[in-house]
Amino acid sequence: MPSVRSVSIGIWIGAGSRYEAPGESGVSHFIEHLLFKGSSRHDATAIARIFDTIGGEINALTAREYTMVHARFIDEHLEQAFEVMADMVVNPAFVEVDLEREVVLEEIAMYEDSPGDLVSDYLTQEIFGEHPLGKSVIGTADIIRAITPEHIKDYHHGHYRLPNMVISAAGNVEQERLTELSLEHLAGGNTEEPATVDAGLAPPREESGASFYRKDTQQYHVCFGGLGLSRHSDERYALSILDGILGSSASSRLFQEVREKRGLAYSVYSFDRMYSDTGLVGVYFGCRGDSVAEVTGIVREQVESLIETPVDEEELHRAKQSAKGRILLGLETTHSRMYRLGRLTVTGAEIIPIDEIIERVEAVTADDIQDLARRLYRPESLSAVAIGPDEKVFEKALGLMGSGRELSVRTA
């Protein structure tokens, strides 16, 4: 992107929560934190000052299938920024572990005080159970308290290996120069194949489940969902259109029916998440107790409508235009381009030219949408999870979704 002055770089590692062994849930995220405490050449203060001095930004994230350290800066600072990033990833000092442990424990506490986010994790656990994808990325307080520095170093040694890394970049940067810098600053990295934990395939879902987590909240936070599609599925573009029609846009059916027409919820949306070999789809809403049953009824009405009746041409056209707009707007920044290339590569997905993606979006038909809705959104097949003060409120709503789900009640 020679017309810009910025460069965005990501160093991606195939280390996320699905690759953690039993008893180490959250170690990938913990290591992400510790990378910023210092490396063999730079301590934590130096890392912060270097990026402040060059007017850049550096951050990181951990997901279920990868960890990424990413930065954005002006092109003239490429060499210095990449050297710092590479040393952080390959040669972390792993100092102040106990101090950062407390920071992570505070992050877990903050997350557990955010029921709108927490309920999504609970739904994932409900759908995947003991499968590695069911683990929380952030981990649990008990495990984080117990993880030792030796365990952290062993995990880093086993997963932060060069064959398990991807470098992605976008902006005013030449591939040849980035390759030279990678060879220079990553040459000392571990070249062995990464340690593996059997990621497994998603287990077939024999029946839907239902769980209620009792917590003294003002709202009930509710999720319905089930297994979805993998990143490799040819139907992923149709699923994006279905998601847009159902609940992921301002003109979507759920947003219009629940919020705009009835004022029953501030937040209501559908979502889809795709992983290497499977995925999940779902609906979230948060509302007061006296509206839970009504909103649940609307969710059922809308998914049944998509199952029983093909979408009309106007709605399909609008959803396609929205999807194409999101794709094209995502090419406007160096960070979004870097992120797209890196995430697809580290997860083994195909990098498809944008023009071809647009063609595939355009090729989606009303029959494709209806077929996906029938397979993924049958109300009686959806698992259900909620957080709130009284399980009886949720029990009533569950009855509206059909089937005889047995409700498991826990304390959040």
- CA dist list (Å): 221 to 227, 267, 383: 20, 10, 14
Percentage of the chain beyond pLDDT 90 is 87
Homologous superfamily of 210-411: Metalloenzyme, LuxS/M16 peptidase-like (3.30.830.10)
Q: What angle do CA 402, 403, 407 make, to 5 degrees?
A: 100
Q: CB 256: neighbour CB atoms within 10 A?
A: 16
- Answer yes or no: is pLDDT of 181 > 90: yes
Eight-state DSSP code of residue 40:
S
Helices in 224-348 by DSSP H: which ranges?
A: 236-246, 253-254, 292-308, 313-329, 334-346
Residue at token pair 């839907």: 208
Cα 167 from Cα 307, distance rounded (Å): 42
Q: Which of 197-211, 257-271, 272-286 has the lowest mean pLDDT?
A: 197-211
Q: Indicate whether 302 pLDDT > 90.
A: yes
- The pLDDT of residue 372 is 98
Please report where in the chains the tokens 């890394």 appear, as a residue. Answer: 165
Listed in order, the ranges of the chain carrying CATH 3.30.830.10 are: 6-185, 210-411
Q: Are 66 and 16 in contact (CB under 8 A)?
A: yes
Catalytic residue (one of 20, 24, 32, 257): 32
pLDDT at 207: 73
32 is catalytic: yes
**CA terminus-to-terminus distance, the chain:** 48
Secondary structure element (H or E) that encloses residue 24, with its range: none
User: Which pair of structure tokens corresponds to residue 180?
Assistant: 């030279």
Alpha helix locations (H) across 173-260?
A: 175-185, 236-246, 253-254
Residue 205 is predicted with a pLDDT of 58
Give the orientation angle of helix 313-329 with respect to helix 354-362, to 10 degrees: 170
pLDDT in tens, 355-366: 999 999 999 999
CA 173 vs. chain centroid, Å, equals 28
Question: Which residues lie below 8 Å from residue 200, measured CB to CB, with a gap of 6+?
Answer: 131, 132
pLDDT score for 1:
75
Q: Is 71 exposed, middle or buried (0-12, 13-18, 19+ CB in 10 A)?
A: buried
Q: What is the pLDDT of residues 304-355, one digit of tens each?
A: 999 999 999 999 999 999 999 999 998 989 999 999 999 999 999 999 999 9
pLDDT category of residue 391 using cuts at 50, 70 and 90 = very high
Residues 35 and 47: their CA atoms lie apart, in Å, by 10
Question: Is it true that domain 6-185 has CATH number 3.30.830.10?
Answer: yes
pLDDT digits (tens, 9 = 90+) for 10-67: 999 999 999 999 889 999 999 999 999 999 999 999 999 999 999 999 999 999 999 9
